[in-house]
Amino acid sequence: MSVDIAVIDYGMGNLRSVSKAIEHVAPAASVVVTSDPAVIAEAGRVVFPGQGAAPDCMREIDARGLRQVIIDAARSKPFLGICMGMQVLFEHSEEGDTACLGILPGTVQRFPREAMHDAAGNTLKVPHMGWNNVHQAMPHPLWAGIEEGERFYFVHSYFVQPATPEVIAGFSHYPFPFTCAVASGNIFAVQFHPEKSQNTGLTLLGNFVTWNPGASETACDMSGAACA
């Protein structure tokens, strides 16, 4: 039986929160946490979470033979990257000098120590941990029902720097603006944790489970047939 939503399990951290939150917003859907490439390939939608360090993530993805199925899913069906699952979509991470999946052009960098001061001169802690405002850089179906500047829960020490600014869907400040959401065709990826961001996060996940990228203009380049 094919599943509606596959949550990719590659051994990087706790996926229970993600799967529980998705089950909560899509009670009728079949949601599976899986590392089986065949299940991921068959699933209608894919969630790509992840915690931990970039080198470990890439090693575990390859150890499970998941690289190609992730790339295929990111090109063909509604795809939600979360946290490390956002970072490794890019080409390279400064964390452990790691080559990543290269699905989106750009790099991943650490919050630079010398920049981590607030306006009053206080040191800002890294990891960036807690609830921060997310500013929407473009209209997108996944932002539906979410107010501009709503807070989401973050925990991370690295952030993405897309080479193509047009994919930037959201940004936050710590203390400088950094990209915390990207959108490209059927891909939406976020640095924050919607599964831990209470009602605001559940709204975003609810938008994802009903999202039809083929219906939106941004997806036309990648899936022209569906837009015709």
Partner 1 sequence: MLAKRIIPCLDVTNGRVVKGVNFVELKDAGDPVEIARRYNEAGADELTFLDITASSDNRDLILHIIEAVASEVFIPLTVGGGVRAVGDVQRLLNAGADKVSINTSAVSNPQLVKDASDRYGSQCIVVAIDAKRVGDHWEVFTHGGRTPTGLDAIEWAKKMESLGAGELLLTSMDRDGTKSGFDLELTRAISDAVDIPIIASGGVGTLQHLVDGVREGRADAVLAASIFHFGEYGIDEAKRFMKQHGIEVRL
Residues that are catalytic: 83, 193, 195
CA 215 to chain centre: 21
Shortest spacing between CB 64 and partner 1, in angstroms:
17
Binding mask 3-32 for partner 1 (x = CB under 8 A): ---------xxx-xx--xx--x--------
Interatomic CA distance for residues 219 and 6, integer angstroms: 21
When asked if residue 33 is in the footprint of partner 1 (CB under 8 A), the reply is no
When asked if residue 117 is in the footprint of partner 1 (CB under 8 A), the reply is no
Give the count of beta carbons closer than 10 Å to the beta carbon of residue 60: 17
Q: Which of 63, 99, 115, 129 binds partner 1 (CB under 8 A)?
A: 129
Selected range binding partner 1 among 1-9, 61-69, 128-136, 184-192, rule: CB under 8 A: 128-136
Shortest spacing between CB 200 and partner 1, in angstroms:
10
Q: What angle do CA 217, 221, 101 make, to 5 degrees?
A: 115
Nearer to partner 1, 11 or 141 (CB): 11
CA dihedral 124, 179, 103, 2 (to 10 degrees): 90
Shortest spacing between CB 139 and partner 1, in angstroms:
24
Could you give the residue ranges of the DSSP H alpha helices within the chain? 16-25, 37-42, 54-63, 67-76, 84-87, 198-210, 224-227
Counting other chains too, the contacts that 205-209 makes at CB distance below 8 Å and 24 or more residues apart are 205/21, 205/22, 205/24, 205/25, 205/80, 206/25, 206/26, 207/141, 207/142, 207/143, 207/144, 207/145, 208/45, 208/47, 208/78, 208/80, 208/142, 209/5, 209/22, 209/25, 209/26, 209/29, 209/45
Shortest spacing between CB 157 and partner 1, in angstroms:
8
Shortest spacing between CB 117 and partner 1, in angstroms:
12
Nearer to partner 1, 30 or 132 (CB): 132
Q: Which of 67, 110, 117, 125 binds partner 1 (CB under 8 A)?
A: 125
Site for partner 1 in 169-228 (CB under 8 A): 173-174, 195-199, 201-202
Q: Look up residue 20 and give its two tokens.
A: 């529980």
When asked if residue 132 is in the footprint of partner 1 (CB under 8 A), the reply is yes
Q: Which of 105, 130, 139, 145 binds partner 1 (CB under 8 A)?
A: 130
User: Interface with partner 1 by CB under 8 A: which residues?
Assistant: 12-14, 16-17, 20-21, 24, 51-53, 113, 122-133, 151, 153-156, 173-174, 195-199, 201-202
